[in-house]
């Protein structure tokens, strides 16, 4: 079955929605790709993203993954909140590298959605793998 096309109006709304998110702006996380049920976020790892070991703090990668998955749900025209999330740290991302997260919907239900996200460094090395369940607050259209 072919994926539905993402409406241009939805794409514009999403870019505005995430551009106006104060926490994402604080972390310098940007939405760089939007498709129906799939979103990519990018971030240059700066000193303020790191812990005392000089690697990205787990909360930053969790934010990237959670946001990528929530945005993937929004790309299916559904506003959601996270119910639960499982996160596996695979490898550290050092300061100075570029990081990106790809979130995708794997179950698009009426009341809940299940997504997964992966966070990579600029070398395309998998660093974090997540899966989460989201509660659907409402459909946008």
| Size of the chain in residues | 141
Distance, CA of 7 to CA of 22 (rounded, Å): 25
Q: Which residues does the chain have with pLDDT short of 50?
A: none
DSSP state of 49: G
Answer yes or no: pTM beyond 0.85.
yes
Q: Rounded distance, CA 111 to CA 115, Å?
A: 14
Residue 9: the pLDDT is: 84
Q: Are 118 and 93 in contact (CB under 8 A)?
A: no
The CATH architecture annotation of domain 8-139 reads Roll (3.10)
**pLDDT score recorded for residue 11:** 85
Output the pLDDT for position 19.
85
Q: What is the mean pLDDT of the chain?
A: 94
Token pair 């993203």 is found at: 49
What pLDDT score does 59 carry? 97
């Amino acid at each position: 079955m072919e994926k539905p096309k993402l409406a241009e109006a939805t794409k514009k709304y999403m870019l505005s929605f995430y551009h106006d998110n104060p926490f994402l702006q604080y972390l310098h996380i940007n939405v760089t790709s939007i498709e129906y049920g799939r979103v990519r976020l990018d971030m240059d790892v700066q000193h303020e993203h790191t812990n005392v070991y000089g690697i990205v703090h787990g909360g930053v990668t969790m934010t990237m993954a959670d946001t990528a998955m929530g945005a993937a749900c929004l790309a299916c025209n559904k506003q959601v909140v996270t119910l639960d999330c499982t996160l596996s740290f695979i490898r550290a991302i050092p300061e100075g590298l570029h990081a990106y997260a790809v979130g995708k919907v794997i179950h698009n239900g009426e009341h809940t959605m299940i997504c997964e996200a992966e966070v990579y460094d600029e070398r395309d090395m998998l660093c974090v793998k997540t899966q989460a369940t989201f509660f659907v607050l409402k459909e946008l259209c």
